[in-house]
Amino acid sequence: MTVKIVWYVVLVILGALVGIAGSFVQNAWFPGGLILALLATTAVFYGGLRATDTQLGVVAPGAAWLVAVVLLSLGRPEGDGVFGGGVAEMIYLLGGMAIAVMCATMSRLGRPAP
């Protein structure tokens, strides 16, 4: 049980880091940055599913990813913000949420016998 808790903590940290990095990269090198950010998001969510064999393995990094992206999208009162508004930001936000839902609803494959 303790090993899974460690996995969940690691996945939360990875989800937040991928959300932050993806927020900066997705519009910087459009469209390659957007593809890279969505691939990294997919890797964390799918990896969490396979590492823990539970849907919570997707929810943990997904929630951290969403919190990081939303906090970065709010900006500051001075007007500084990571997201400038455009198609790339919407694709990243909606695409990341869609990937999380797809990974969370995937059927789990049985592990091969050792």
Domain hosting 53: range is: 2-73+85-104
Quick one: pLDDT at residue 37? 93
Which amino acid type is present at position 68? A
Residue 40 lies in a domain: yes
- Total number of domains constituting the chain: 1
Among residues of the chain, what percentage have pLDDT more than 90? 45
Q: Is pLDDT above 80 for 21?
A: yes
The answer to whether residue 54 is domain-embedded is yes
Q: What is the pTM of this model?
A: 0.85
Residue 113 forms part of a structural domain: no
pLDDT of 108: 61
pLDDT tens readout for residues 63-79: 999 999 988 888 667 76
Mean pLDDT, the chain, as a whole number? 86
Is 58 a member of any domain? yes
Distance CA 101, CA 104 (A): 5
